[in-house]
Amino acid sequence: MSDVSTTGASPLRPIPASTVVFEHQGHCGIITLNRPAARNAIDGDMADSIERCIDQIESRDDLWIGILAATPPVFCAGADLKATKSGAGKSLFTKRGGFAGITRRERSKPLIAAVDGAALAGGTEIVLACDLVVASRRSSFGLPEARRSLVASGGGLFRLPRKIPFNIAMEMAMTADRIDADRAHQFGFVNRLCSDGQAVSTAIALAERICANAPIAVRESRKIVLDASLAEDEVAWQLSKEGLGRAIATSDYMEGLNAFIEKRSPIWNAR
């Protein structure tokens, strides 16, 4: 039996029998980690399931954006260390996605992390693999691997200092201490800070703002931000030119112009 349950647009309720739930609301695909008794710690089946959910978002024309959430009270405690110690079950890494099927996954569509609780170790690395972050005030982030004689290997040690001040990231890596959502928001790591229990609804509202724009133009803009931010200017100029060329080659380009002239909301078709 698959560990992924797929449901329709509403309601947004996890299915208890599944460790990963996939739902869709409008143009948004919602992935929910649903193993709360184990603090949503990642095992091999969950890693495979998360990868399959991302496959759906990437392959479906009607889905323009994804949200990655979890059943509270913990977002994700990282790797299932009991499974790791025993050596039982599947690997926590997938061939395309790396840890949890996501940390090394190449994607074209935006993904928002909706964090409502602690995201620690691999949980923080999952959040760092997303494009935007919504977090409730009870949330926290940290890389406590050193306390277990481990090293964070899911991207946290190089992605975190790209998101928050370098010395704060260094302190977190060496002390294994966490930061709360308020402080993460002050550093710009968290895009939207919300009340407890409101992470998913806040992420959906943010996703709807993004989906008001032309989907392919959003994807091209995301790609340029990722690829060009650390590149030399000449490379960045070329990437920007190429991205613009792909955007204006779509039918949505003319729809955007016509909607502006006709003073109406555009109707995008993602082509």
CA distance 130 to 107: 10
Q: Tell me, what's the pLDDT at 110? A: 98
- Is residue 125 annotated as a catalytic residue, yes or no? yes
Q: How many CB atoms lie within 10 A of CB 238?
A: 13
Does 110 sit behind a cis peptide bond, omega within 30 degrees of 0 on the bond before it? no
Q: Tell me, what's the pLDDT at 246? A: 97
* φ, ψ (nearest 5 deg) of residue 99: -60, 135
Spatial neighbors of 31 by CB under 8 A, at least 6 apart, are 20, 21, 22, 50, 53, 54, 57, 66, 67, 68, 69
Q: Which of 145, 171, 242, 255 is catalytic?
A: 145
- Is residue 145 annotated as a catalytic residue, yes or no? yes
DSSP for 225-248, written as a single string: HHHHTTS-HHHHHHHHHHHHHHHH
Whether the CB-CB separation of 63 and 56 falls below 8 Å is answered with yes
CA atoms within 13 A on the CB side of 25: 15
Whether the CB-CB separation of 58 and 97 falls below 8 Å is answered with no
Q: Tell me, what's the pLDDT at 6? A: 58
Q: Tell me, what's the pLDDT at 1? A: 34
Q: Which of 58, 125, 208, 220 is catalytic?
A: 125
Whether the CB-CB separation of 28 and 66 falls below 8 Å is answered with yes
Fold classification of 4-211 (topology level): 2-enoyl-CoA Hydratase; Chain A, domain 1 (3.90.226)
One digit per residue, the tens of pLDDT, for the chain of length 271 reads 345 665 554 444 444 459 999 999 999 999 999 999 999 999 999 999 999 999 999 999 999 999 999 999 999 999 998 776 656 567 999 999 999 999 999 999 999 999 999 999 999 999 999 999 999 999 999 999 999 999 999 999 999 999 999 999 999 999 999 999 999 999 999 999 999 999 999 999 999 999 999 999 999 999 999 999 999 999 999 999 999 999 999 999 999 999 999 999 999 999 9
Q: Tell me, what's the pLDDT at 90? A: 79
Q: Tell me, what's the pLDDT at 16? A: 41
For residue range 159-173, list pLDDT tens digits in order.
999 999 999 999 999
Q: Tell me, what's the pLDDT at 9? A: 45
